Structures are given as C-alpha cells and as structure tokens.
Structure 1
Amino acid sequence: MFAKILNTLNNTCLRNVTTVVDHHCIRKIILDFPKNKNSLSLDMLNSLISDTQNAALNTNIKVIIMSSSQPNIFSSGHDLKQFQKNKNDNDLQLQKEILEKLVRLINIIQNLPIPVIAEIKGHAAAAGCQLACSCDIITASEKALFSTPGIKQGIFCSTPGVAIIKSSLPLKIATKMLFTGDPITAQEAYQFGLVSQVFPEHLLEDGTVELANKIAKNSKEVLSLGKQCLYQQINLDKEKAYQVAIDAMLENIKLDDAQEGIKAFLEKRTPIWVKAKMNK
C-alpha cells in the first residue's frame, strides 16, 4: 500500500532526505537519503523534527510509522563527516547542535499525543539505534540488526547508550553492545524486550500497518492521555506513579469517548468515538 504511494511520489517529486506519506489516519515518515545511509545529519534531523511536529497538527493522523526507503539500513547513525575536526572554530558548536537536535526529536516523539512505531527493515546503528529505541513501539524484519558500533571508530556511543539502557534492554546486554560494538539480531532484541514484534522480511510493512490500524481504531483523545500518563509515571517510584495514574484515570473517565466506550461495552456493540460521529 505505502510502497505504491511512495513510488508515485518519487516519480513526481524532488527527492528530499525524508518522504512523508499519509494513508487514512496513518502517517509514514520515511528516512530517504540512501547516499549517506540515512545518516542523522543536521538536515535529516531538521526534516524529521518538522515531519513529526506537522503530524501532531493534523487532527486526522492517529499513528506515525517511522521507516526507511532502504531494505538494508534504517539509519547508520550520525554523519561522521560532521564530527571531523577542521580549522573552523565552530566545529564544536555544530556537533553540540546535532547531538541536541536528536534529543529534541526524541522528546518530541515521546511528547507527541499519538503513538510512533519504528519499522526497522535493516540495520539501526548508533544514533539510528538511539532513534529506534526512543519510539513507542518497534517492529522489525527478521533480518534487522541493532548496534552501537561507535567504539570501533573511537567514539563511545554515549548518547545512544542512554536510549538503549532506558529502554527495556537488560543492562548487561546493553553494556556488551556498547563495549564491543557488535550488533544484536531482531530475534535477540525481541527476546530481550526491545522489539515489539518480528516479521518475515516480506511481511514487515503490511504487519506494521496492520498494527498501526489496530491502534488507530481507538479514540485519539484517549490514546493521547494514556501516552502522556505512561511517560509521566515511568521513572517515578511506585507510590507517585500510582497517584499520577489515578489522576489520569479520573481525567480519562470524564471524556465523552470514555463514556461512549462504557455504554458500548454494556450494550455489546462497537463504540463510535466523538470524532467519528462528527464525520458522519
């Protein structure tokens, strides 16, 4: 489905570092700069920030899928050419801006009122792994790889390390990845709890869209409130986390969609969310 739309766009539009395709209530943001292996250059990061922020402004979009146009690479990480020392005194400022831009993108993703799925076809390396781990859900091809190989180039993956350690990946697995630079497979990532679902390569796109559609059947307002609560309580101690969750539940129950959901459950029918009623 998305592949056909993407081919049409690529035949009619100038290629940028990302391509955005909307289909019903799903937005697909595609890293699309094969020349640089989808490296997270400053241009790529600016484009991804713009694409994700624009999705939040579109009231019809309920799920984002972040993917790659390339079968063998999601993203190779930062563009190392931008981290070389030159005679320019502004080098350090540029590098700081790039690192902070990725953190900004990650914060935008986690603060978006809609879920974001990372669809990993190939290799998610270094900062590319950092980006993937920072999405709400990860689907992966059985051929996908996840790595933090910076140590092999003399740059420890400190910022990607934050994402993989704060994800569900066990500490001893994360430290092995960081200290050796060796990748883990999609199946290993699934077993460790990093990946949500693994698909055969030819079923990844359809499987991810099917998952996105399952999410999109739910109330956008409830999804937004639930995601906000999830990230608000995740690092709190149990007592504070429960208080945040109780407050969120009480706010949730006030929503028209919550009352419609309760009524539909009792009447043994499918709920019709407020927006769906308005569009009838």
Structure 2
Amino acid sequence: MSFIPSRDGAVAWLTLDRPQALNAITRDMFFAMTAQLRRWREDDEVRVLVLTGTGRAFCAGADLKQSHSATTPEPGEKDSLDIVVEFFDTLRAFPKPVIVAVNGLALAGGMEVVLACDIVLAAKSAAFGDAHSNFGVFPGGGGAAVLPRKVPANVARYLLFTGDSLGAEEMKTYGLVSEVIADDDLRARAQQLGEKLAAKSPLVLARMKRVVAGALDKSTADALRHEVLELRDHKRSWDIQEGLRAFVEKRTPQFRGI
C-alpha cells in the first residue's frame, strides 16, 4: 500500500511511506488513498486529517517510472490521469480540516498535494517546487491552476518555469506556509493543531471551508451572500445553541456536528 493510515483521537493521519522513492505516489497508492479519504469523510469520529511523509521527502510527486511504462487502458477503464484527478478532487473536497505536515521535499505532485490542503506546516528542512518542467511533464493536480491562487503570480511562474525549489521560510513569506517548525517537533505540532481544530464545531468548520473554497471564484457580493445563506442554515443547528449556552455558562462547549 505504501502509506500508513492511522488515528490519534479525532485526528486521522495519512503517512506516505516509500522513503526509498522519496514517497513518489504510484497508481495503486492514488487509488487506495482516495478510498481511505472517502472512508474518513463518512466517519464522524474523524474530525481532522493530517498528511505527512517518512524519510527526507514529503512527496516527490507521481512515480514517473510507472507513468513511463503505463499501458493503454481497455475501453471504459480509468487511465492513470483519471485516478490522479479523482484523488485530488476528493482531497480538495474533503469536508473536514486538512493539515499537511511537510517533513521534507514537496515536489511536482507532492507540491500539488500541499496545494490541496487547508493548513501547511513545514519542517525547517522542507523545500517546495513544481519540478514538472525539469522532465517535460505537465501538471495535472493543480500545479499551474492552483499555485497562482496560493502565492503571488510571479512566484508561481518562477517555480513552474524553472523547476527550482524554495525553502520553507521563503514560502512562508509568500503565504503558502502557515508555520515553520523544527524538524523533530513537526509531528507533535501537527497533532496539537489537529486536536485544537477537532474541539471546534465540525459543522462550523465544514461551512467555513465551503465558503472559503468558493470565495475566490465569486464577486464579493456573491461570496457574502453565500456566507449569509450558510449562517441561515447554521442558526438551526444544535452546535450554535450549544456554543451559546456554553458561553453563558462559562464552560467548554461539547459540539456534536449537528
């Protein structure tokens, strides 16, 4: 399987585990990770997802050796691109907060995984690059489409065209990385942040995530209308009543996600 699914309380972990191949993702891994994400999506006990890797890389992208040797699928069967797109669509649409703990190199498809996550924590040793142009490969997981929405357009062009990498601290200045953390403390910090988010109303976070995801494609007026419509629905929820009761009673709210 080459990735490790695990749970620590309400925080689910998906750890890429092909360190000898810089955690390059195979077709079978994409397929299996999509299935795992769908299981966690429906599991109410999972409130936050964290992605990370083992070894010196977070992920060097898709396995190019496998891509080079891929055969043409039979009519009606999904090809490799279908399976890759399905994974990224599922990750981007994951309704719960997604933290990525970038433990090392995040290149090509690995960078695209980062772009699909909500909060980016990076080890001091981490580095980020598109790298597709180094091998004449075109992005398919959002590298060219999403990167300019996450960092300034001139920085996106530099990374896309040159194939070079930039360090965690520099990517923090461009807004992609939320926190730069000592390498040995990365996993503990991701778990700590995950537990903090898991204590929030999952309903609130899911609704916030929907509005944020759509805001860049809307006018300000339409984005505000979307926000008000979500609030209208949320005012009928158990969680908002519990939150208000807890405020008045000066206690910690116990959210149910309903």
- Once the two structures are superposed, the pairs formed by residues 130-141 of structure 1 within 5 Å of their partners are 130-141=112-123
Residue 148 (structure 2) aligned to one of 160, 165, 169: 165
Q: C-alpha distance in 2, partners of 1:79/1:210?
A: 32
Shift of 1:92: 11
Larger mean CA deviation between 249-258 and 232-241 belongs to 232-241
* Unmatched tracts of structure 1, length 5 or more: 1-15
Residue 150 (structure 1) aligned to one of 101, 116, 132: 132
1:8 paired residue number:
none
Structure 1 stretches of 4+ moved >4 Å: none
Residue 115 (structure 1) aligned to one of 82, 90, 97: 97
1:74 correspondence with 2:58: yes
Count the aligned residue pairs: 255
Q: C-alpha distance in 2, partners of 1:224/1:122?
A: 29
- 2:79 counterpart SS class: helix
Shift of 1:222: 2.1
Give the residue type in structure 1 aligned to 2:83: K
CA gap 1:65/1:85 in 2 versus in 1, 3 angstroms: closer
Q: CA RMSD in A?
A: 2.2
* Unmatched tracts of structure 2, length 5 or more: none
Give deviations 1:13-33, integer Å, cap 9, x for gaps. Answer: xxx311111111011011112
Q: Percent identity?
A: 26
Q: Do the aligned partners of 2:3 and 2:14 also contact (CA within 8 Å) in 1? A: yes
Q: Do the aligned partners of 1:18 and 1:47 also contact (CA within 8 Å) in 2? A: no
2:214 paired residue number:
232
- Once the two structures are superposed, the pairs formed by residues 47-86 of structure 1 within 5 Å of their partners are 47-70=32-55, 72-84=56-68
1:192 correspondence with 2:174: yes
Q: Do the aligned partners of 2:203 and 2:257 also contact (CA within 8 Å) in 1? A: no
TM-score (norm 1): 0.84
Give the residue type in structure 2 aligned to 1:81: K
Q: C-alpha distance in 1, partners of 2:80/2:247?
A: 49
Shift of 1:100: 3.2
TM-score (norm 2): 0.91
Give the residue type in structure 2 aligned to 1:224: A
